[in-house]
């Protein structure tokens, strides 16, 4: 009897202390990330890029090309592709972004006029009084703030562009060395763990990151490629920019698509409600095609996480590391769950084996 009470007391202590320990660890991770934000961001992006490019490297290795030459070929191909994108698509996105920033004050003014006309119509028809004054004042304040910030936007954008170029070079160089020597570093670190944890952690990590980043990249590319011609046909202004925003938002799991479509719809709603309605309709249709037809074939239920825990993981990741934490939250959570499930399964198999071994003499 006292053994059972002691076991229940141990479980109570474990569950009672786990919450504050987890909270302390999350706070510590958040502090460390904010302190080393820039190097950790560069390191994480380079690791993701190396992880994706490693598939091309393995294909070349199957053709009996040495790894060093395979990495060099893949890196040159990636740099060429980045240069082509930088020459063709990036200027288009930058140009439309600048034009959009110039148009937003005019759209806000137009939206304010529409509100005033609606308020006049309400008063004329003697409908229940709706006060638009607060919203009008907020729009006026937004217009004034935008007009004040626009002169400084070019300088800030130029500085951001230079910083982005430098960071891109760092990411590519670091990814190159990760492709060459990353396996040694990874296995050196993971071999420090017990074999009981090392094997399932390695398998779960590879599985989750493989399915997540590769599939999310392809799904985001699908949204950009499918929405751009649709937006051009229905004459949506800044069609390519809006499609890119929606496509990039797909990288944020669970809520990214809703945020991207909602943001673009609200921006266009300031100019034309009918165009905004069409944009939202076609975006939602393509999102449903992606979620119900394409995503299940690419991803499946690889994490096995409950949607509530996915949402909690995203919030925790954003709190710790911002946008980068949001992107990494799902594969990390899936890796943790997969590792614990594998360990639990192995323990149960070992327990059953021991029971059978002990029962065999009695059966004889």
Residue 328: domain span: 195-358
User: Is the Cβ–Cβ distance between 85 and 224 less than 8 Å?
Assistant: no
**75 found inside a domain:** yes
**238 found inside a domain:** yes
Helix (H) or strand (E) run with residue 196 in it: helix 195-233
Q: Sort residue 234 into left (φ over 0), alpha (ψ -120 to 50) or beta.
A: alpha
**275 found inside a domain:** yes
Q: What's the pTM value of the predicted model, to 2 decimals?
A: 0.67
Do 161 and 243 fall into the same domain? no
Instruction: Return the pLDDT at 154.
Output: 44
Identify the domain boundary among 127, 159, 192.
192
Do 336 and 201 fall into the same domain? yes
User: Is the Cβ–Cβ distance between 282 and 227 less than 8 Å?
Assistant: yes
Do 176 and 216 fall into the same domain? no
* Euclidean distance between CA atoms 73 and 79, whole angstroms: 10
Give the end-to-end CA distance of the chain in Å, rounded to a whole number.
33
Instruction: Return the pLDDT at 179.
Output: 86
Do 249 and 293 fall into the same domain? yes
300 phi/psi in degrees, rounded to 5: 65, -160
Identify the domain boundary among 192, 209, 237.
192
**26 found inside a domain:** no
Q: Which segments of the chain have a pLDDT < 70? A: 1-23, 25-26, 112, 115-116, 118-119, 121-162, 254, 297-305, 346-364
**89 found inside a domain:** yes
Do 259 and 321 fall into the same domain? yes
**321 found inside a domain:** yes
**7 found inside a domain:** no
Do 199 and 348 fall into the same domain? yes
* Per-residue pLDDT reduced to its tens digit, 305-331: 677 777 788 888 887 777 778 888 888
Instruction: Return the pLDDT at 353.
Output: 55
Do 247 and 187 fall into the same domain? no
SS3 101: helix
Do 175 and 203 fall into the same domain? no
Do 76 and 50 fall into the same domain? yes
Do 42 and 180 fall into the same domain? yes
C-alpha torsion sign, points 315, 318, 320, 324: positive
Task: Kindly tell me the burial class for residue 115, based on how many C-beta atoms sit within 10 Å of its own C-beta (0-12, 13-18, 19 or more).
Answer: middle
Find the angle CA(172)-CA(174)-CA(179) to the nearest 5 degrees.
Answer: 95
Identify the domain boundary among 192, 213, 232.
192
Do 213 and 228 fall into the same domain? yes
**305 found inside a domain:** yes
Q: How many domains does the chain have?
A: 2
Do 174 and 286 fall into the same domain? no
């Amino acid at each position: 009897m006292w053994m059972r009470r002691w076991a229940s007391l141990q479980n109570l202590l474990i569950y009672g202390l786990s919450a504050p320990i987890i909270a302390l660890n999350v706070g510590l991770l958040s502090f460390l990330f904010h302190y080393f934000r820039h190097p950790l961001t560069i390191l994480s992006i380079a690791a993701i890029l190396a992880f994706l490019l490693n598939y091309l490297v393995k294909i070349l290795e199957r053709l009996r090309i040495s790894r060093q030459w395979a990495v060099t070929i893949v890196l040159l191909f990636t740099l060429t592709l980045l240069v082509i994108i930088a020459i063709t698509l990036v200027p288009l996105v930058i140009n439309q972004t600048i034009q959009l920033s110039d148009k937003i004050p005019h759209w806000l003014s137009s939206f304010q006029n529409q509100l005033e006309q609606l308020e006049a119509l309400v008063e004329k028809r003697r409908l229940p009084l709706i006060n638009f004054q607060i919203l009008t004042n907020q729009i006026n304040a937004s217009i004034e703030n935008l007009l004040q910030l626009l002169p400084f936007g070019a300088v800030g954008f130029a500085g951001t562009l230079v910083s982005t170029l430098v960071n891109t070079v760092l990411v590519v160089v670091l990814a190159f060395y990760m492709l060459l020597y990353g396996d040694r570093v990874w296995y050196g670190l993971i071999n420090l763990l017990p074999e009981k944890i090392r094997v399932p952690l390695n398998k779960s990590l590879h599985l989750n990151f493989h399915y997540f980043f590769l599939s999310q990249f392809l799904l985001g590319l699908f949204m950009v490629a499918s929405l751009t011609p649709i937006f051009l046909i229905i004459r949506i202004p800044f069609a390519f920019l809006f499609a890119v925003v929606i496509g990039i938002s797909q990288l944020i799991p669970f809520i990214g698509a809703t945020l991207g479509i909602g943001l673009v719809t609200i921006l266009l709603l300031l100019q034309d409600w009918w165009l905004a309605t069409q944009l939202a309709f076609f975006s939602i249709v393509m999102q449903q095609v992606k979620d119900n037809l394409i995503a299940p074939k690419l991803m499946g239920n690889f994490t096995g996480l409950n949607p509530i825990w996915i949402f909690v993981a995203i919030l925790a990741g954003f709190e710790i590391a911002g946008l980068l934490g949001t992107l990494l939250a799902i594969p990390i959570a899936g890796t943790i769950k997969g590792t614990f499930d594998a360990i639990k399964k192995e323990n149960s198999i070992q327990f059953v084996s021991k029971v059978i071994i002990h029962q065999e003499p009695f059966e004889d």
